[in-house]
Structure 1
Amino acid sequence: MIKKSTYPIVDISIRNVARSVGVAASTLLAAATSIVVGRVVDVLASGAPGVGTPLSLALVLAVASVAATVLLGEWVPTWLGVRRFLDSAVACARNILAAPQRAFARREKGHFVNVLMNSTDTYGTLLYAGASVRIPGAVLALVGTVAITALIDPLMAALIVVYAPVLWLALRLPTRSLAELERDILPVQDAWLGESKRIVENKRAVNAAGAEGYFSARYRDRSEAFLCTVTRYRFLELLISNLPALLSCALAAAMMGVAAWRCVLGAAGVGQVLVAYSLAQLVQAPLTAIAQRVAQVRGNIPHVERLREVAAAAAEPSGFEALSTMGSGDPAARVDGTLWATPARDEDGKRLWAGEFEVRPGELVVVKGANGSGKSRLLDFLRGLSDPADLDGQAALSLEALHAAYLTYPVPVFPGNLAYNLLGAAADPEAARVLDLGDLTERAITDQPLNLSLGERQKLGLLRALSRPEPVVLLDEPLANLDAGVRARLCDHLAGLRGRKTVVAIMHSGELDAAADRIYEVRDGRLSRVK
């Protein structure tokens, strides 16, 4: 269970209290400016001398109010929101990478793209900055403005106190609907983003298959569903934004009426009418901010729940911890049981194989079998990249196996150069010689399909795996897409690693059979040792 202290919404720290006071300062300075301007009007109306001093003070307060609005009221909370957004995005990315594979597989890619891009932004800029600084600042501004108004005229202050719950009740229904709609919009947005990502990632394959119409139709359907939900959401946002401005006219008229009545009775000067109008406008700003920010917080709580869900997934045990072994005499890996591809364990489920598998430290082990027989799933299991519940039986995996260097598919490629694509490892000179890298060492590498041939991608993946310092290496079809000369040199190199590294290789040919310490093969759903 993840605590609410993970991605907190309300964070009452000394710094945030100071920031909230800064947000309130702009409104309070504007209120003070209005009072002084009202005094200037009264002096001018009476014809008395000495207007210069209050006028100069009004100018100073006005400049200070503008500076406070820009710097304290807007820039400081905006900076805080963006800073929180970026920090949350980094933390979310780490949590996604740290989550066990089974937790990651519970959602499609679009969900995690949405969380990483949109939920972190919403949390930082709207929720955290809003609930921790902007809303408290607006409350302080409202209380301060009401107090200033009460000093001028208690009746006008009473009008504000009556108006506040009226505005709140008027916004209650749309804000509640907005909060409910937010939960509906996120799954639809997930699907839309997932389809967008699918098109971008598979453009070449889509074109090659002539499936442009099919993917366009799928994207249009996802977009239409997203559009309908977004339209309702935007309408509620506009209603919440504009309703306070409409209601503020009534408050301004009432407060100016009170001031005009005081003037008629001779209890106040004409400048108080101007002060009443200014205060009515000023008090509207924090009232609207409170209503809108609270609506934003309520409506966007699902984003925080998603971030906490990812954090919970990162803290979730993979299940492989209980299988790890550390003794020097223990095998590098031992699996004994039935491996399944689906949760079902009956005739509706897909059983990959049943049998016993063992790898001793320093051995070269070959695994063979038809496509789809579960060989790659075995390597994923050894590396801790699947769900241990997929195995009905017993397993013991060394820490070295769970952190093995792994050649898997598709081979990940990152824009940059060869050194960058080794992900922090230094290229092993012998492996580089064996693979005959050609101009890969100098070429700019991109993730575009035509930048590298399949053979070059294979060499890049092999160099990455063989250059790692880990003592266990897992290779899924290491000879794929390589020419005969490189295949022969690579087999000799892998044979030479015996005793220095533990190597498990999935093979479809017999080129490593002579050098292998053990050979396993999947036949008719059984994993058996044949050497």
Structure 2
Amino acid sequence: MRSSDRLVTRIVRRSGPWLGVLAVTSVTGALAQLALPFVLGRTVDDLVSAAPSRGMWLGACVAIVVAAVACDALGVWATGACSARASEWLRHLTVRHVLGAGPALNRRFSEGELATRAGVNAEEAGRAPETLVTGAALVIPTAGGLVALTLIDPWLTLTLAVGLVVIVLVLRAFLRVSTTLAGGYQEAQGDIAVRLIDALAGARTIAAAGTLAEEKARVLAPLPRMRAHAMEMWRANARAGVQAGVVVPLLEVAVLGVGGIRLASGDLSAGELYSAARYVVLGAGLGSALGYVGRLARARAAAGRIAELLSEPVRTYGRRSLPPGPGRLELRGVTAGGLSGVDLTVPGGCAVAVVGRSGAGKSVLAALAGRLTDPSGGEVLLDGVALPELSREALGGAVGYAFERPVLIGETVADALGLGLPEPGPARPPGSPETPQSPERLETLRAAARAACADAFVRRLPAGYGTPLADAPMSGGERQRLGLARAFAHGRRLLVLDDATSSLDTLTERRVSEALTGELGGRTRLIVTHRAATAAAADRVIWLEDGRVRGYDRHRALWDDPRYRAVFQAADRTGAP
């Protein structure tokens, strides 16, 4: 079974009770349609008979019609509810998987692709359950029509069966072609989303360069490809529709012709011929499944794109907690993302700078240190425990990260600083609304902000730490300071600063450095930097070159090597901080 079909099966299981309601209404409505020709035929025979009844069959016709209309109305409601439930579950699954897979998934899929697959594609795939149920319900009138015609006259059944084989072949070919075309259309949609997100991120640059027209053309460049796929889908639909449209009338004429011959020979009554004519229409109604097949093709293509995303493994965690220790970091034979055979031991409580030219593997090493990524070979340990063996809570409480361009998440400044920080007292259930910060938690955040030189400007905001992020415009340096404060509040044993002071002015950086060697000095600090002054202030320096450790010593000892000095000279020439 294809991965897309397996995912569709999971979606069907998660569609909720409304899918059962839809199945019941679809089957009941199909049975009502199946019973109506028989009752109409009896009504005709009753009306033309010499002794008609008192309207029993006519009343049965009215009851069946009312039941069919009620089933259709309830089915429309159930269809919407079922699709909404399925899409909601699929979006939750997709977002949870994307966040669980971490940065590894971002390297494989761009933000635009992830947004398209979690949005538009999830909605299309969520329509699969109701499409399958309502489409499958068409089989009931077809099968019932075959049985009914067999009871009336087997020759009529044989005529109908030959035409149904042709219709099934048409539908099968249409499903295969439509799935491929729908996948291409959805890929073009994702490509446009990727380009649009890139353009929005660089809106100021585009405005400054005056390249609006060129950027518009770049974003919409996949539009002709998307139109071509759409036109091919319409052509495929038209071809299948014409084929089914030719087969169905011919099939009805053929069955009626055979029925007329049987009527002339006295083997059928007028009412039976009328019933046969109605059952032919129901049996040939399988040709109307073309729309359902097209929707199923789009749902399968969308499910295939989501299944590709879900194939990325999610990071798993162990159950161990950290033993008492100073925060000693060890890398044993680590290979990952350009790094090869790295063996390092960072003593607990030390400040270690990581330097190297662009592409040397500095950020990869920083990501490995706190398990933002896992090595393809070797292992990383914190105080003697392999990082994958730690629980999520133990790892999150031990390691604090600060990045060059921190993203602030939460309603207020305090929420952004305390993101992921356990709240004293009973834990809030997942998904519950944010609660006001407790005094203990707020004091922890303020202490971290003071160490990052962020407390002063936060207090100047309209509501201080309670200021909504949307109402707190910040410079790049202020944003970096909040990122540092968030890391200081979390990392009780290890702080990983990935070029996290590049936007700070000299005075602020010096004050942050004093905090790192003072009140935060008991923690292990891994500092990715381009500045010689930062490297000189560290206890030791890891010098990376071409994915390998070129040197691991004090800055003063490494400075004698001209190639080491060239690392900082290259940074100065390229404008790196």
Q: In which range does the TM-score fall when normalised by the shorter chain?
A: 0.7 to 0.9
Map 1:442-521 to 2 at 5 A. Answer: 442-446=466-470, 451-468=473-490, 471-482=493-504, 486-487=508-509, 489-498=511-520, 500-508=522-530, 516-520=538-542
Q: 1:56 to 1:211 in 2, by over 3 A?
A: same
1:408 aligns with 2:390: no
CA-to-aligned-CA distance 1:273-328 (integer Å, 9 cap, x gap): 55344333333334532x6545655676454444333333125889xx9xx99676
Distance 2:335 2:262 in 1: 87
Q: Which runs of 5+ in 1 are unaligned?
A: 346-353
Unaligned runs of 5+ in 2: 422-440, 556-577
- Alpha-carbon distance between aligned partners in 2 of 1:469 and 1:166, rounded to the nearest angstrom: 68
Note if contact 1:110-1:195 (Cα within 8 Å) is conserved in structure 2. Answer: yes
Distance 1:446 1:222, change over 3 A: farther
- Tell me which amino acid in the other structure corresponds to 2:329: A
The whole-number CA distance in structure 2 between the counterparts of 1:424 and 1:382 is: 19
Q: 1:376 is matched with which residue?
A: 363
In terms of mean alpha carbon deviation, does 216-225 or 357-366 score higher?
357-366
Q: Which amino acid aligns with 1:467?
A: A
Q: Is the 8 A contact 2:327 2:524 kept in 1?
A: no
Secondary structure class of the residue paired with 2:349: coil
SS at structure 2 position matched to 1:314: coil
C-alpha spacing 1:219/1:509, structure 2 compared with 1 (3 Å)? closer
What is the SS of the residue equivalent to 1:177?
Answer: helix
Q: Which residue of 1 aligns with 2:554?
A: 530
Partner of 1:310: 309
User: 1: CA distance between counterparts of 2:293 and 2:99?
Assistant: 33
Spell out the pairing of 1:429-440 with structure 2 (5 A cutoff): 429-433=446-450, 434-435=453-454, 436=456, 437=458, 438-439=460-461
CA contact (8 A) 2:142 2:286 kept: yes
The letter for the 2-side match of 1:23 is: S
What is the deviation of 1:167?
A: 1.1
Instruction: Tell me, in whole angstroms, the C-alpha distance in 2 between the residues paired with 1:11 and 1:518.
Output: 54
Going from structure 1 to structure 2, the CA distance change for 1:30 and 1:6 (only over 3 Å counts) comes to closer
In 2, Cα distance between equivalents of 1:4 and 1:330? 48
**65 and 155 in structure 1: CA distance in 2 versus 1, 3 angstrom threshold:** farther
The CA distance in 2 between the partners of 1:60 and 1:394, in whole Å, is 73
Is it true that 1:334 corresponds to 2:337 in the alignment? no
Moved more, 1-10 or 104-113: 1-10
Shift of 1:61: 0.9
User: Percentage identity across aligned positions?
Assistant: 23
2:72 counterpart SS class: helix
In 2, Cα distance between equivalents of 1:499 and 1:455 = 23
SS of the residue 2:108 aligns to: coil
Q: Which residue of 1 aligns with 2:37?
A: 34
The count of aligned residue pairs is: 510
Letter in 1 for 2:369: L
Residues 144, 362 of structure 1: alpha-carbon distance in 2 compared, 3 angstrom cutoff:
farther
8 A Cα contact 2:11 2:86, kept in partner: no
Residue 245 of structure 1: how far off its partner (Å): 4.1
Query: Residues 223-262 of structure 1: matches in 2 within 5 Å?
Result: 223-241=223-241, 243-261=243-261
**1:441 has 2:465 as partner:** yes
Contact 1:149 1:156 in 2 (8 A): yes
| Aligned equivalent of 1:362 | 349
Match of 2:220, SS? helix
Could you tell me which amino acid in structure 1 is paired with residue 372 of structure 2? L
Q: Residue in 1 aligned with 2:210?
A: 210
Post-superposition, which runs of at least 4 consecutive aligned residues in structure 1 deviate over 6 A? 1-5, 10-18, 324-327, 336-341, 510-515
Alignment of 1:119-130 (within 5 A): 119-126=121-128, 128-130=129-131
Task: Find the residue that maps to 1:411 and give its secondary structure.
Answer: coil
Distance 1:2 1:287, change over 3 A: closer
Shift of 1:408: 1.6
How far, CA to CA, are the matches of 1:334 and 1:114 in structure 2? Answer: 40
Q: 1:218–1:63: structure 2 CA closer, same or farther, 3 Å change rule?
A: same
Cα distance between partner residues in 2 of 1:138 and 1:429: 65
Q: Deviations over 1:223-274 (max 9, x none)?
A: 2222222221232134435643443222333344455555555655545555
**Aligned position for 2:67:** 64
Provide the C-alpha distance between the structure 2 equivalents of 1:267 and 1:394, rounded to a whole number of angstroms: 84
Q: Which residue of 2 aligns with 1:116?
A: 118
Name the structure 2 match of 1:350.
none
Which residues in structure 2 correspond to 1:5-154 (within 5 Å)?
Answer: 7-9=7-9, 20=23, 22-46=25-49, 48-72=51-75, 74-76=76-78, 78-99=80-101, 101-102=103-104, 104-126=106-128, 128-131=129-132, 133-154=133-154
Deviates more, 1:107-116 or 1:195-204: 107-116
Whole-Å separation in 2 of the counterparts to 1:387 and 1:205:
35
* Shift, 1:488, TM fit: 5.1
Tell me: CA distance 1:243–1:424, structure 2 relative to 1, closer, same or farther (3 Å).
Answer: farther
Letter matched to residue 98 of structure 1:
G
- TM-superposed deviation, 1:501: 3.2
The change in CA–CA distance for 1:229 and 1:288 in structure 2 (over 3 A counts) is: same
What residue is the counterpart of 2:575 in the other structure?
Answer: none
* 101 and 11 in structure 1: CA distance in 2 versus 1, 3 angstrom threshold: closer
**For the residues of structure 2 that align with 1:286 and 1:196, how far apart are their CA atoms?**
42
Distance 1:241 1:529, change over 3 A: farther
Cα deviation, residue 63, structure 1: 1.0
Q: Note if contact 1:356-1:527 (Cα within 8 Å) is conserved in structure 2.
A: no
Task: State the distance in 2 between where 1:2 and 1:60 align.
Answer: 44
- Residue by residue, what CA displacement relative to the aligned partner does 1:101-120 show, whole Å, maximum 9, x if unpaired? 44542344444334323443
Length-normalised TM-score, structure 1: 0.78
Corresponding position of 2:283: 283
Partner Cα distance (2:211, 2:134) in 1: 50
From the superposition, tell whether residues 410 and 129 of structure 1 become closer, same or farther in structure 2 (CA, over 3 Å): farther
Q: Following TM superposition, by how much is the alpha carbon of 1:152 offset from its aligned partner in structure 2, in angstroms?
A: 3.7
Contact map agreement 1:240 1:292 (CA 8 A) in 2: no
The alpha carbon displacement at 1:94 in A equals 2.0
Q: Find the residue that maps to 1:57 and give its secondary structure.
A: helix
Structure 1 residues 112 and 150: alpha-carbon distance in aligned structure 2, compared to 1, 3 A threshold:
same
Secondary structure (helix, strand or coil) at the match of 2:313 reads helix
- Partner residue, 1:168: 168
Match of 1:388 in 2: 375
* Amino acid of the structure 2 residue aligned with 1:138: L
For structure 1, which segment, 380-389 or 457-466, has the greater mean C-alpha deviation from structure 2 after superposition? 380-389
Q: Distance in 2 between matches of 1:182 and 1:530?
A: 59
1:219 match: 219
Greater Cα shift, 13-22 or 298-307:
13-22
Partner deviation per Cα, 1:21-78 (whole Å, 9 max, x = no partner) = 5423212202222332333333334474435322222111111111223324x54455
Greater CA drift, 53-62 or 96-105: 96-105
The 2-side partners of 1:469 and 1:310 are apart by 31
CA distance in 1, matches of 2:261, 2:411: 75
Q: SS in structure 1 opposite 2:527?
A: strand
Q: Which moved more, 1:22-31 or 1:461-470?
A: 461-470
Q: TM-score, normalised by structure 2?
A: 0.73
